[in-house]
């Protein structure tokens, strides 16, 4: 049975993203600045909360201790995102990616890869010993905007969602690495991408997995 309400909401969400009248590159620059602030605030609040926990609450149970014996991967902060960003999974949906890649260094390291008039794929990475606090803090923020989905990603933990401004995104926690990959339609194009958000999120999961593989080889 078709859920007409979901179709209407999805269409409305796509129209609202296109109606903003800003380019994908400008939108990504804006979200990078906002994300940096949120990362700082949520990470600090989570650390302060953890510092106030009583000793007995902070003590891990035998079961959780056993589950945490595996050593998480530690990534180097000296990253070059454009050299490792894997976009092949998105090419199956939007065609061949543009050969030129745009790197961002401040406030977050990242990379933007264009797909002609369809839109752009984007990667933001943060290496930090409090990556888990950042991941969970931003997860709460994303959950307030809409439902979270689970797609295979190869990450220690991950979730996918549709950002009201930027479109489909996947957030990934892996050891000391917080990473997001996303797709943003070209809002100024006469023929914007308008892909199926669920299909895009699955492709983002594969992109995250391949990007992690590349990062571990550097």
**Region at 95 (left for phi over 0; alpha for psi -120 to 50; beta for the rest):** left
Two tokens at 140? Answer: 């709460």
| Cα angle 79-80-82, degrees, rounded to a multiple of 5 | 140
Overall pTM > 0.75: no
Q: What is the pLDDT of residues 10-53, one digit of tens each?
A: 555 554 454 443 455 555 554 444 444 444 443 444 444 344 43
Provide the domain count of the chain: 1
CA-based nearest residue to 6, from 196, 167, 154: 196
Q: What is the pLDDT of residues 84-136, one digit of tens each?
A: 999 999 999 999 999 999 888 876 889 999 998 899 999 999 998 989 988 99
Is residue 195 within 8 A of residue 11, CB to CB? The reply is: no
Q: What is the pLDDT of residues 147-171, one digit of tens each?
A: 999 999 999 999 999 988 889 999 9
pLDDT confidence of residue 21: 39
Q: Which domain holds residue 149?
A: 4-217
Dihedrals phi, psi of 65, to nearest 5 degrees: -65, -40
């Amino acid at each position: 049975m078709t859920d007409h309400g979901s179709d209407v909401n999805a269409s409305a969400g796509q129209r609202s993203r296109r109606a903003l009248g800003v380019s994908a590159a400008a939108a990504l620059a804006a979200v990078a600045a906002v994300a940096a602030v949120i990362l700082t605030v949520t990470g600090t609040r989570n650390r302060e909360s953890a510092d106030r926990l009583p000793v007995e609450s902070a003590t891990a149970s035998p079961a959780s201790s056993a589950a945490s014996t595996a050593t998480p991967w530690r990534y180097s902060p000296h990253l070059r995102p454009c050299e490792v960003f894997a976009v092949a999974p998105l090419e199956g949906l939007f065609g061949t990616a543009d050969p030129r890649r745009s790197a961002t260094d401040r406030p977050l390291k990242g990379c933007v890869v264009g797909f002609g008039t369809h839109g752009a794929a984007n990667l933001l990475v943060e290496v930090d010993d409090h990556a888990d606090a950042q991941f969970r803090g931003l997860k709460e923020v994303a959950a307030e905007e809409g439902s979270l989905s689970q797609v295979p990603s190869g990450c220690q933990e991950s979730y996918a969602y549709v950002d009201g401004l930027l479109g489909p995104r996947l957030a990934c926690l892996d050891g000391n690495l917080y990473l997001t990959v996303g797709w943003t339609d070209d809002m100024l194009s006469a023929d914007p991408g308008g892909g199926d958000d669920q299909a895009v999120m699955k492709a983002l999961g594969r992109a995250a997995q391949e990007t992690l593989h590349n990062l571990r080889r550097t």
